[in-house]
Structures are given as C-alpha cells and as structure tokens.
Amino acid sequence: MNATRQYQIEVTNRQQQFAVPEGELLLHAMEKTCLQVIQVGCRGGGCGMCKIRVLQGSFRAKRMSKAHITEQDAEAGYVLACRVFPESDLVIESDHFNDLSI
Amino acid sequence: MKKGVMRPGHVQIRVLDLEEARKHYVDLLGLIEMDSDDQGRVYLKAWTEVDKYSVILRESDEPGMDFMGFKCLNEAVLDSLAEEIRALGISVTELPSGDLKDCGRRMQFVAPTGHTFELFATKEQTGKWGISSVNPEAWPRGLKGMQANRFDHCLLYGDDLEGNLTLFRDVLGFDLAEQVVDPEQNRVALFLTASMKAHDIAFIKHAEKNKFHHASFYLETWQDVLKAADLISMTDTSIDIGPTRHGLTHGQTIYFFDPSGNRNEVFAGGDYHYPDHETVTWKAEDLGKAIFYHDRQLNERFLTALT
C-alpha cells in the first residue's frame, strides 16, 4: 500500500507550516488543518481573497480570474491558493489580496 | 409608481469552466437546461418560470455578471423607458431580437454603479416545466438537487447608490422597500422592488464599480433551505454562510459559491412590499444583525468575496 505523498508548505509571512497531500488543492488542505494562514473566499478562483506568491517550488493550477491574476502576476509567482495543486514542497507568502497589480 | 417593469427576467453569469458550472446549476441548484447557442452560452430555467430561460452561462477567464435583464409589460414600455433613461444622461443600446436566443429586442444600459442592465418585453414562453397550465399538478417529478423555484434577484456591489436610486425608483418605477442608512444619513444599501417581493434587485455600497455579490433563487420552505445545506455538504460545494435568517427582508437563507467563485443564494420566506408601505430602514451600526439576524455579525467574506 502506498501512502499518499505529502508536500510541506511554508508560509513565510505567518511563520507557519502545513502539509498538502498529493492531488489536493492547497487552500482546501489548509482549511482541513484548521489553520488560518491564507484568507478564504469563494474557493473557486473568482474573488482573489486567497492570493499568494509562490517563492519556491513547483505546482500546477486550474484556471483563475484574470481580474486577480494577470499574466504579469502569474510570471511573478502570484496565484490563487484555491486553484493550486502543489507538485513539490512550497515556500509561499500569503495576504496578497487586493495588492496593486504589478 | 409602476412604469411597466414586471420582474427580473434573466442574468448572464460568466464562469471559468462551462461543464463544472452546468453541473452546479443543473445538478445542485436544480435548474433545467433549455438550450445553447453558437457562442457556446447555455440557457437554463427554474421550473416555475413561464419564460424559456432565466440564467445564461458564458465561459470566460473572469467570473462575474455580464448583465441582468428585467421583463417589461410590452414593447412600447421599452421605448418610453429607454427615452427616460437617455434623459438622465445614460446611453442606451438597442440589441436586436435573437441576440439572446428566442428573446426580443433588448434595451441595454450601464447603471451609475457600473453594472449592465437591460429591459426586454418578449421571450419565448415554454410554460412551467413539467406541469400543464390546465389542471396543473402541484409540482413536476424529476427535479434535481435543491429544486430551485425561480431566479429571484441579484445583489450587486458598487459605488454610486444615489445614482442607482434615481435610475431605479424615479425612472424605472421600482419602490425602495428597504435601506441601510449610516449615522450621517447616507444610504449604504438599497433593496428595490418592482413587484410585491421584498427585493427584485439590491445594491450595497462598495468602492469599486460593477461587482457581483450573488444571484438568488427562491425555495418554498425553511426545510428546503436545510435540505439545500445538506446537499452543499454532500457535494463538498464551497459554502459562505448559513443556514440563517436575514434581518433585511427577513428571508431564511444559505449562501454558497459556484465552481468559478460566483456566489449563489437560496432562500425561503421573507417580507412583502406594497407601494403604500414605508421604506424599512436598518441602521448601518447594526449591519451585522441586518444581514445575519442570528449571528449578528458579518463574516469578512460577505463583504469582500465578490466577482
């Protein structure tokens, strides 16, 4: 039996860590741990409340609102945590909701 | 004073993934898929509605509301109201019949809060879904999920509420059924009705223009709201808050999100409004109780999660 792989997520601005099982959405996994280190909004890529910046690591993401993640945002590592599937351990920075677009 | 606007007719909602949205609105809310068009838009209705559709889904890379349409008594009303809207300094575009499937011409304009609205008078009527108009049974079998009865209203966030009040009350003939007023007597929320319902459209003051808070669907009873809550859990659908009751309009409610982050409400009960009723006022200092009558405090998400 293979145990599901877990990725460690370090939230630098909150000095907290949590684990995300492979194939799970980052924000969903955080909510299940009862941590509150990323703001939770619509959970559907629409509202922008869970905007984070990924500083290290790899991930794939579902489609998200371009009103909150522009092409330049995406190139700079900004993403909505509710749409992110980690593919390695990640170092992230949360609390980027309503940042001026870079 | 009534000016010929009858009811909310339709809302066009932008979604990130049409298949996920279709599953949400059809399988969970219980809307019925009626048609689609060559732009890929999907047309849905709730079962008690007589017109062919009331919700239009369009795939886009930015969720939110494209426009909300109100159905008017007849075609002549469209021309007279368009003229009055133009007299306010708001431009009105006439969209031709057939631009929306099986819908007549539409008069489209942008309200002072930045939201796009339209008036129409003609749409194919397919009748209530699944029951006859002669000796109708109580309800049709085969409804799915929450079995939403009708598309009821939208709540929208925007800046110029006074501009919208002038447009909706003085030009379009809505009544201001309820309002929220701050200590300096500024209105921070408007609940407007063109009918006996507590609201057909509502606005909350917000710094940005043209934000979508929710589209709401009517259920018959509080028990139906509780069953909706069960279905939200069973399907692991993103919940906002509820089941609870509103102070404003006193409806019994639950809020949740579609898979693209657009908020939906299903609700039951609530107050009614006649034209001789005084506007009900809630104080902004008591906004928590006005919005969520039991918790008496707002969750931050209610004010900030918008599309």
Half-sphere exposure of B45 (CA within 13 A, CB side): 19
Work out whether the CA dihedral B110, B112, B115, B117 comes out positive or negative: negative
CATH class name, domain B152-304: alpha beta
Q: Give CATH 3.10.180.10 domain extents, chain B.
A: 5-120, 152-304
The shortest C-alpha distance from A35 to chain B (Å) reads: 17
Mention every residue, 6+ apart, whose C-beta is less than 8 A from residue B128: B47, B48, B49, B50, B136, B140
Q: By CA distance, what is B257's nearest residue in A?
A: A42
Q: Give the C-alpha separation, A7 to A16, whole Å.
A: 14
Residue B57: closest CA among B240, B253, B215: B215
Nearest to B262 among A39, A46, A66 (CB): A46
Q: Give residue-wise pLDDT tens across range B92-151.
A: 999 999 999 999 999 999 999 999 999 999 999 999 999 999 999 999 999 999 999 999
**B238 near A CB under 8 A:** yes
Q: Give residue-wise pLDDT tens across range A40-90.
A: 999 999 999 999 999 999 999 999 999 999 999 999 999 999 999 999 999
Q: Do A65 and B258 touch (CB under 8 A)?
A: no
Q: Do A46 and B260 touch (CB under 8 A)?
A: yes
Look up B199 and say whether it is catalytic: yes
Q: Give the C-alpha separation, B216 to A86, whole Å.
A: 34
Q: Are B203 and B303 in contact (CB under 8 A)?
A: no
Q: By CA distance, what is A63's nearest residue in B?
A: B16
Q: Give residue-wise pLDDT tens across range B184-236.
A: 999 999 999 999 999 999 999 999 999 999 999 999 999 999 999 999 999 99
Confidence band (pLDDT; 50, 70, 90) for A102? very low
pTM of the model: 0.96
Q: Are strands B116-120 and B64-72 parallel, antiparallel or unpaired?
A: parallel
| Average pLDDT across chain B, whole number | 97
Q: Give the C-alpha separation, B73 to B6, whole Å.
A: 6
Mention every residue, 6+ apart, whose C-beta is less than 8 A from residue A44: A82, B16, B63, B238, B257, B258, B259, B260, B261, B262
CATH of B5-120, one of 3.10.180.10, 2.40.70.10, 3.40.1190.20, 1.10.10.1200: 3.10.180.10
Residue B246 exposed, middle or buried by CB count within 10 Å (0-12, 13-18, 19+)? buried
B25: which chain A residues are within 8 Å (Cβ-Cβ)? Answer: none
**B210 near A CB under 8 A:** no
Predicted ipTM of the assembly: 0.93
Question: Phi and psi for A29 in degrees, rounded to 5?
Answer: -65, -40
Nearest to A43 among B16, B238, B307 (CB): B238
